[in-house]
């Protein structure tokens, strides 16, 4: 399988750990060598069979951030009826899968190598049949091996298809451009962010048009709260306008100044419903560069999704404020 490696460790060599010779042919030095070899191999065999914390290991790399992979694993788990047992946001997740008479535990670990590549390790365990699986893996293509390889290969294929639908480039440290805006507040699940914007777009633009208020720039989204665990966000959907002392009031409409602020910036191309992939890239960039940030991203949208163009041609600038306190 291309780029999908599975590890059977050094003890998977199907040759016996040592070979004996007839007593009449063994010299004292040979006996000593065999004794040393046995004393070295036995702890390794005992570790493999009784201490090693997993039955099977697979690794692969992906050209994206750990957060995108983490989110993909959670969404994949929902479609595969997999239970999530534990997670460490954007770095590790533990899931459980029923397969016949086995209950498999998948421990996923994501490690960022650089701005664009993440290494993934998947450790699979069947607690009820662990010893049997470890022995079987040494000599044949075991059931746990078949299930694990197929499941992870399917996930990897789906991930690669998803990565073709957008592009993210981290630009580095920048400034959020200031603007005075007419805004409305939206609360929604993170995957439904774009739907929330569409529902409020007409309300805001109709209000501005009816009251003769001219827009002075493209829309922007300012996140106020981000519940990473439950994937719920509350954000202001804003339209830059000319500041004035006499602005009309409207239901659900308020005005605010968005100040300029130091931030790390990414450029996103793709459907705005998944522009949070740029959030994940910025979080990873901040972690690797030891930057203190406020996890309240701001997005500026330069394309109109209603034009019917290819989403890969849509552009957004995404900022993650740097916390300078």
Q: Which residue has the higher pLDDT, 258 or 53?
A: 258
Closest CA to 295 of 273, 257, 321, 258: 321
pLDDT at site 176:
97
pLDDT at site 149:
86
Average pLDDT value for the chain: 84
H or E element that contains 182? strand 179-189
Minimum mean pLDDT range among 3-17, 241-255, 300-314: 3-17
Minimum mean pLDDT range among 75-84, 164-173, 258-267, 292-301: 75-84
CA 180 centroid distance within chain: 34
pTM for the model stands at 0.80
Q: Looking at the chain, list the stretches that DSSP marks H as alpha helix, in order from N- to C-terminal side.
A: 28-46, 66-79, 130-139, 143-163, 193-210, 276-288
CB within 8 A of 196, min separation 6: which ones? Answer: 186, 187, 188, 235, 237
pLDDT at site 107:
94
Q: Is the dihedral of CA 145, 148, 149, 151 positive or negative?
A: positive
The SS3 assignment for 219 reads: coil
pLDDT at site 79:
74
In whole angstroms, give the CA distance from residue 243 to residue 256: 9
Compute the average pLDDT of residues 77-91: 85
pLDDT at site 25:
43
Q: Looking at 48-112, list the stretches that DSSP marks H as alpha helix, in order from N- to C-terminal side.
A: 66-79
Which pLDDT tens digit goes with each residue over 215-241? 999 999 999 999 998 999 999 999 999
Based on its alpha-carbon atoms, the radius of gyration of the chain, rounded to whole angstroms, reads: 27
pLDDT at site 285:
96
Minimum mean pLDDT range among 16-30, 56-70, 79-93, 273-287: 16-30
In whole angstroms, give the CA distance from residue 293 to residue 262: 10
State percent of the chain over pLDDT 70: 79
Residue 52 has pLDDT above 70, yes or no: no
Instruction: Assess contact for 228 and 271: CB atoms under 8 A.
Output: no
79 burial via Cβ count (<10 Å: 0-12, 13-18, 19+): exposed
Closest CA to 156 of 168, 148, 146, 166: 148
Residue 148 has pLDDT above 70, yes or no: yes
H or E element that contains 48? none
Which pLDDT tens digit goes with each residue over 10-50? 334 434 333 334 444 445 557 566 556 656 665 555 444 44
In whole angstroms, give the CA distance from residue 222 to residue 300: 9
CB within 8 A of 26, min separation 6: which ones? Answer: 20, 34
pLDDT at site 120:
96
The SS3 assignment for 214 reads: coil
Q: How far apart are the first and last CA of the chain?
A: 49
pLDDT at site 308:
76
In whole angstroms, give the CA distance from residue 293 to residue 278: 15
Instruction: Assess contact for 284 and 113: CB atoms under 8 A.
Output: no
Instruction: Assess contact for 54 and 125: CB atoms under 8 A.
Output: yes
In whole angstroms, give the CA distance from residue 68 to residue 163: 9
In whole angstroms, give the CA distance from residue 17 to residue 35: 12
Closest CA to 176 of 42, 12, 24, 300: 300
In whole angstroms, give the CA distance from residue 310 to residue 271: 9
């Amino acid at each position: 399988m291309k780029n999908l490696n599975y590890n059977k460790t050094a003890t998977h060599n199907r040759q016996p750990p040592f070979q004996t010779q007839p007593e009449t042919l063994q010299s004292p030095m040979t006996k000593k060598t065999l004794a040393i070899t046995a004393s070295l191999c036995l702890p390794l065999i005992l570790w493999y069979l009784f201490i090693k914390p997993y039955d099977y290991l697979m690794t692969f790399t992906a050209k994206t951030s750990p957060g995108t992979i983490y989110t993909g694993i959670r969404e994949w788990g929902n479609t595969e009826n997999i239970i999530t047992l534990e997670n460490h946001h954007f770095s590790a997740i533990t899931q459980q899968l029923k397969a016949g008479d086995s209950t498999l535990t998948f421990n996923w670990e994501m490690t960022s190598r650089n701005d664009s590549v993440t290494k993934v390790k998947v450790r699979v365990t069947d607690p009820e049949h662990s010893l049997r699986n470890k022995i079987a893996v040494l000599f044949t293509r075991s059931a746990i091996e078949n299930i694990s390889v197929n499941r992870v290969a399917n996930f990897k294929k789906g991930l690669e298809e998803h990565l073709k639908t957008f592009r993210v480039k981290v630009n580095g440290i920048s400034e959020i451009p200031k603007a005075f805006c007419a805004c409305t507040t939206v609360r929604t699940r993170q995957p439904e962010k774009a739907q929330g914007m569409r529902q409020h777009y007409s309300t805001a633009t109709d209000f501005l048009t009816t009251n003769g208020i001219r827009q002075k720039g493209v829309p922007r989204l300012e996140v106020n709260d981000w519940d990473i665990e439950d994937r719920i966000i509350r954000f202001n959907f804003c339209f830059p306008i000319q500041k004035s002392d006499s602005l009309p009031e409207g239901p659900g409409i308020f005005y605010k100044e968005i100040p300029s602020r130091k931030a790390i910036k990414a450029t996103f191309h793709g459907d705005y419903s998944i522009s949070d992939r740029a959030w994940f890239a910025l979080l990873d960039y901040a972690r690797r560069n030891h930057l203190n940030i406020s996890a309240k991203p701001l997005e500026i949208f330069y394309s109109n999704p209603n034009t019917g163009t290819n989403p890969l041609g849509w552009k957004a600038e995404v900022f993650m404020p740097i916390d300078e306190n």
